[in-house]
Structure 1
């Protein structure tokens, strides 16, 4: 085991006869205090009282006498000041205000933590803006005037806001630090006998420096720095940027030793650097490293996984080997990643835009949520499914609460919670959220043991909504659901669900800041990429870069130096170091390894193993699905044969036998989804049904121009009727649906015009049959069970004495689609010959049932290609432009078709030929 920095500090204090029980230890974090307490037990051989161990934040808060409050509450307080100091006509809404106020609060925080004279810097900022915008010019626009007025008011905002906070004895971190620095002298007077030990600090703000130096001056404090000579003695190494400044600038170190400059970094280390593609690749490789480390050392007691990007937490947890039993996670699980967060995200999304109706996808998403779906299961009935099925069946695109209640009266109270009164008042919206949490809790309580984690989620969200309710009742700044959603997201982003574990045992998983003051023998650091470690240039501030330099405020350079220190400090005492970086360019990062890695390689102090890891990508040969015909499948095929093979089912088999298997053998139907836009098959059905209504009464009669003209006047009524019948409650009064509705009317109108033109040309047309149902027995001697064919023919007519079998197609069909050269192709190529197969099958069935006398013509009327007229099936002698076409369907034609049809049916019914998927 390695000797840690904390252990060295405690050993030194004991060696110099300090009474450990009377020391106040001040550390950068609470977590470090826990490790100090643990190592204290290893130092002393006798029972002692535990010393006071606190974090710097706790120490400063105690010194200031002011309580810290959440960032969200500060926003509400600041908005009070903003409203008090801004004319009503110029006031931003709370939602708009919060976007820029967040940045201003950060600036207030920095100014106070670094003890900058407030009036000076705000006046300086205001002067800069006036110079920039030529404020002496008389013709300033209203926008420029308001802009300059904003900068002039910054100091006024600051004074009013801070006074308001101090009156309530609360504050943000910077204000607390400023007050603590002001109170330091009083604290020293009252604690002359108290000893303080500050250990493991690096970057200190001016307030912290002031407090510590005052304590040092009065001999009631000691400081222990954890810095290596390699960094300190190199003026260009940023890991010691702050420590060099403290050593040089603090008067205390003119007469006192600087504890400590160590030599741990130069000791031999095993450093391996791995370039791994993608974040998930890194997470998986961390799992592999842990497995190898555990196999070698039999323990992960002094091993830490430090996540440069904390979003890797969940993938890493999922990659940890199952053999790892002791595990401690310092980072909390973000509440925004919990499934319950998506529920409230959906709810706020639905109610953000005020309206009385809800989009069906939002409703279905909400009702299908894992925490909501079970609530609709009442007395063995799944009312959520009932609602969803009704939405699909009736094509409901927008729904009101009333319509939802009509579908499921049993769940009225639950539907009210989810959909009613949200926009009435914010109080009601929040009450709905807390009541919903209570309702979910009642359900989960029925099986408490199985739902412990879910109940913990609920508890944390209940706390969050209680905070929102308190803030709303105290400040009244939330005026609408959109603002409430913004505040909710702000609170949610900072909340975490803490893991429970043994903090001092086994593998440690933490973020970079949690690693402060801690030492581990083996360290795995992930996401060591530019833009992450270090984070690089970012300027989320109203204070320009040069003004920050002038006032000694931290810039991105100082922030990068903080992470440089943390990175190298992790390496100081470690024996085995594994550094991972992402080699791929992701959304906002360029896949560039961090400068820290380049610096390590250029230092030449350690032998570094650098390797690019390529994930194992097995070659998966695509294999087409194959289903062998079982006895049950054969029985089902016999049932289908007895009922009748339709042209569509046979062409479905030709296209892909697996589709036939799913739809006909397994009886798996496609899910009827809501049609927001009228689907092609719905348009086809409407046109077919309209023409059936028009022509069915005209069977066995001759057409005339007058009869067809009369039909044109009925187009609107019939098409509208069939749209309502097929499209249910879908809206055809606007948008694309209105266009498709008009197209349907135009299709029917154009068809009737074509009919009129044909009649006016002197052609005689007699309607023989409309939507004629045919079921015939086909003779297949090879099969020992009856086989039938079935199908519905759109239209059979007699034109100038010639019988025509017509199939309507609302899509575009061209003449080559109803022509064949080789008969064997008709049952093998769906794309080219499915139309020919259909019309020939209709002709074959009608011939078998003696409804027609050969020869006949059969073909397609394409509504998208009406100018081409009746596209007749024809047999071509050969391919090419000079091919001879024969449009007459004779007995010979049907005999040739029968051979191919029989071959297809025998293949389908053959128990030894499996259903095999076709390549698309």
Structure 2
């Protein structure tokens, strides 16, 4: 394949040009590497290398100004802004940076396109005057300030550019404008030079002026790379710019236009893939490369073009293992590195000067991979202990002293992370620098294992050093917020660059890096509307119609730029693979790019269009199954001797694997911090308070006076039990305060119902509160003793009838305490677990001789207090209205059969613990 660069060099050779005396000007530095390489294959002799410059380097030489970063430009502009603005009207740096960046971009565009500055700024000011009713006599202060801002734009521009030129620095547009001013001098001083411009497409006015001047004076040549089919088609965007130059430049009226080629119409294999999601595209690229390597395609002549640069890491992780040589011309964004999230969390933590920190922020920082290593001791980490203590004590907000107390002997690290930055940029930078040094010391202990982490750390050290330099030089950063803005600016532009042999192996690059370069096989990702082309965006103070009037670029010109890059990539390629995301997305809507539609409608090439879907195997979930080995049976004997509780048995009914995990393996549920009081905490508080109130009354008949005496004690006992269970959780505000009040309301309502019962002439005698029971079960099938245990919330007598009562803080209705078929009571957890529980209590108390039959057992639901005592009942069918609510010997015998069957199943070594399908 003859590349564009090769063809230009061959042309120069045929013209007997002395290549060593030529200065090549290219759109990017990247193309210069390939140009230098191609020289060796065209000129078969030893020669001096020509001078090769990017257009930015060339204009920097012309202007004698040094390009400075956008972040430093912001600082320079702020210095000028402060001089031009009254102190009373000055924005702080944080506010300033939000609008100043847009203004600098507009200054840049105005200069690159050589727009008369005074004219356009006066025009913009006039538009704003009209928009804000300049004829009105009484303008508000807001309107006055707004119009004043537009009136000052010309002053901002003049003073800013003068200041930069005096400092011998500039932004790109200013450098271009100064280059145009200096072009005559350059031509006079370099009349013997020969310049060659190649591979350009969309030129700004300054570039056009410079190139035309050089061409007219005979010291330059220019080589375009444009296809005949694009050039001759008046509506094809790929040829829009070059058609205009051919038509408007007077140089081409008497000189040959080089070149219009005819490569695009040659035979190509074009494959288009619709792939769901970005990760799907990365995997498909890996699949394409795997196929190419099998066909022994030369990967040195293959390029992956990432339209969306966030795909870099997924693509690198999806490359086949047999790809040995790889060159990445784009850096990995520093913002995607784990350390970026750590510093962002620290900034958010310290942006406000709070005396205490939210526990999730604390845990998030302490658990970060680069921080947890600072707490290592004795081959374990202190972080897990700190987190466990926070969870156990419900510490929703922690101050630095609490954290230090939890972190012994790592108080110094806590100071480094959580001591106040005092809303001072200098303090913040000092703290972050010290933190970086601490992390480095930690990683240095095992350099080989942490080599990549150390590289990340080095880049962040450079970033913070740059922030220190800027703050020292300009002293504009007065707060953490302003420092954070600078941090975000720097982070968005910084990359972690890869090192490799630039001319060997598979090439991975962004769209702009592909300029002037040609490859036989091209893989282009993310060819979606909103990505390629980027679509409409208007990040400018200059209105669209004003841009049109002054020939400033709009989204149409930007779309034409993307169109040229896309078509130029495939014009010489033989194999083209185009991928797009099919899934609906916030940014691009999942719509394939218009470029794909154009390719299909042109009907020039044979195109295959495939929809690639991930292979989804319909596999049945393998339910867990655990055999009862000797260890499990030993543990079951221990449980049986201690006693099976109703909750452990209902746990088995719900799911045998849950029983195995919690009772056999003793695995506890993950204990999270209760920011809001959990339902089980509320239930425990109600249970414990009722125990405090009623325990002294065992064996006593209740009276209205006794109940009334309980009421004043509720508040104190509820507070006591909340503190005992909820630890240091805050009950004074928010949802917790509501839950606290609900607990008191439930208890007061319960006492009111008791009073109502007594007023109606009922006699209530308290028999037992929190009665603990343990009864031996006679099971011939099991060769070890089995006990049944349970703690009954309340046993009383209502008009002589014994009642076994279980309190529930949640909502329960009558349907949950009714049984139709006895077999269901040990199989259906949702419907019959409440019935099983109260019958177990009744069974245990009767067998232990603490209660006599007949009796009643049931539930008092605090979310359904109006229903009163919900009695267990036995029905013959769901439609049967005749319920048996008194528990007799017969009912207990029926229940005993099911109870024993359940326990025999649990203890049977031949029956595995099998997970229930939920």
TM-score range, shorter chain: over 0.9
**1:498-519 C-alpha deviation (Å, 9 max, x unpaired):** 0122111111111110000000
In the alignment, which residue of structure 2 is the partner of 1:915?
Answer: 913
Return the alpha-carbon distance in structure 2 between the equivalents of residues 424 and 150 of structure 1. Answer: 29
Cα contact 1:826–1:837 (8 A) shared by 2: yes
CA change 1:298–1:271 in 2 (3 A) is closer
In the alignment, which residue of structure 1 is the partner of 2:795?
Answer: 796
Q: CA deviation at 1:912?
A: 2.5
Alignment of 1:149-548 (within 5 A): 149-380=148-379, 382-548=381-547
SS of the aligned residue for 1:590 comes to: coil
Return the alpha-carbon distance in structure 2 between the equivalents of residues 816 and 618 of structure 1. Answer: 41
RMSD: 1.5
Aligned residue-pair number: 918
Return the alpha-carbon distance in structure 1 between the equivalents of residues 84 and 578 of structure 2. Answer: 52
Return the alpha-carbon distance in structure 1 between the equivalents of residues 358 and 582 of structure 2. Answer: 42
Return the alpha-carbon distance in structure 1 between the equivalents of residues 749 and 453 of structure 2. Answer: 62
Cα contact 1:878–1:884 (8 A) shared by 2: no
**1:13-69 C-alpha deviation (Å, 9 max, x unpaired):** 122111211211111111100111111111222222222111111111111111111
Moved more, 464-473 or 604-613: 604-613
Cα contact 1:796–1:806 (8 A) shared by 2: yes
Cα contact 1:23–1:52 (8 A) shared by 2: yes
| 2:624 corresponds to 1:644 | no
In the alignment, which residue of structure 1 is the partner of 2:140?
Answer: 141
| 2:606 corresponds to 1:624 | no
Return the alpha-carbon distance in structure 2 between the equivalents of residues 380 and 623 of structure 1. Answer: 36
Q: CA deviation at 1:572?
A: 1.4
Q: CA deviation at 1:759?
A: 2.6
In the alignment, which residue of structure 1 is the partner of 2:786?
Answer: 787
In the alignment, which residue of structure 1 is the partner of 2:891?
Answer: 893
Q: CA deviation at 1:424?
A: 4.5
Unaligned runs of 5+ in 2: none
| 2:722 corresponds to 1:760 | no
Moved more, 835-844 or 748-757: 748-757
Alignment of 1:551-700 (within 5 A): 551-700=550-699
Q: CA deviation at 1:299?
A: 3.2
Return the alpha-carbon distance in structure 2 between the equivalents of residues 631 and 506 of structure 1. Answer: 60
In the alignment, which residue of structure 1 is the partner of 2:717?
Answer: 718
Q: CA deviation at 1:298?
A: 4.5
Q: CA deviation at 1:652?
A: 0.8
Return the alpha-carbon distance in structure 2 between the equivalents of residues 535 and 713 of structure 1. Answer: 70
Return the alpha-carbon distance in structure 2 between the equivalents of residues 889 and 687 of structure 1. Answer: 27
Q: CA deviation at 1:263?
A: 1.4
Cα contact 1:304–1:509 (8 A) shared by 2: yes
Q: In structure 2, which of residues 903, 910, 916 is the aligned counterpart of residue 905 of structure 1?
A: 903
SS of the aligned residue for 1:395 comes to: coil
Return the alpha-carbon distance in structure 1 between the equivalents of residues 37 and 637 of structure 2. Answer: 78
Q: CA deviation at 1:380?
A: 4.4
SS of the aligned residue for 2:450 comes to: helix
Q: CA deviation at 1:255?
A: 2.1
Q: Normalising to structure 1: TM-score of the pair?
A: 0.98
Q: CA deviation at 1:155?
A: 0.6
Return the alpha-carbon distance in structure 2 between the equivalents of residues 299 and 573 of structure 1. Answer: 16
SS of the aligned residue for 1:885 comes to: coil
**1:396-422 C-alpha deviation (Å, 9 max, x unpaired):** 000000111121231111111111121
In the alignment, which residue of structure 2 is the partner of 1:22?
Answer: 21
**1:230-281 C-alpha deviation (Å, 9 max, x unpaired):** 2112222221111112222222222221111111112111112222222222
SS of the aligned residue for 2:870 comes to: strand
Return the alpha-carbon distance in structure 1 between the equivalents of residues 381 and 311 of structure 2. Answer: 38
Q: CA deviation at 1:378?
A: 2.8
CA change 1:914–1:320 in 2 (3 A) is same
SS of the aligned residue for 2:772 comes to: strand
Return the alpha-carbon distance in structure 1 between the equivalents of residues 737 and 590 of structure 2. Answer: 49
Cα contact 1:859–1:870 (8 A) shared by 2: yes
Return the alpha-carbon distance in structure 2 between the equivalents of residues 606 and 863 of structure 1. Answer: 75
Moved more, 668-677 or 616-625: 616-625
In the alignment, which residue of structure 1 is the partner of 2:875?
Answer: 876
Q: CA deviation at 1:431?
A: 0.8
SS of the aligned residue for 1:587 comes to: coil
Q: Normalising to structure 2: TM-score of the pair?
A: 0.98
SS of the aligned residue for 1:53 comes to: strand
Alignment of 1:8-47 (within 5 A): 8-47=7-46
SS of the aligned residue for 1:448 comes to: coil
Return the alpha-carbon distance in structure 2 between the equivalents of residues 621 and 381 of structure 1. Answer: 39
Unaligned runs of 5+ in 1: none
| 2:100 corresponds to 1:104 | no
SS of the aligned residue for 1:447 comes to: coil
Cα contact 1:827–1:901 (8 A) shared by 2: yes
CA change 1:878–1:546 in 2 (3 A) is closer
Cα contact 2:350–2:423 (8 A) shared by 1: no
In the alignment, which residue of structure 1 is the partner of 2:129?
Answer: 130
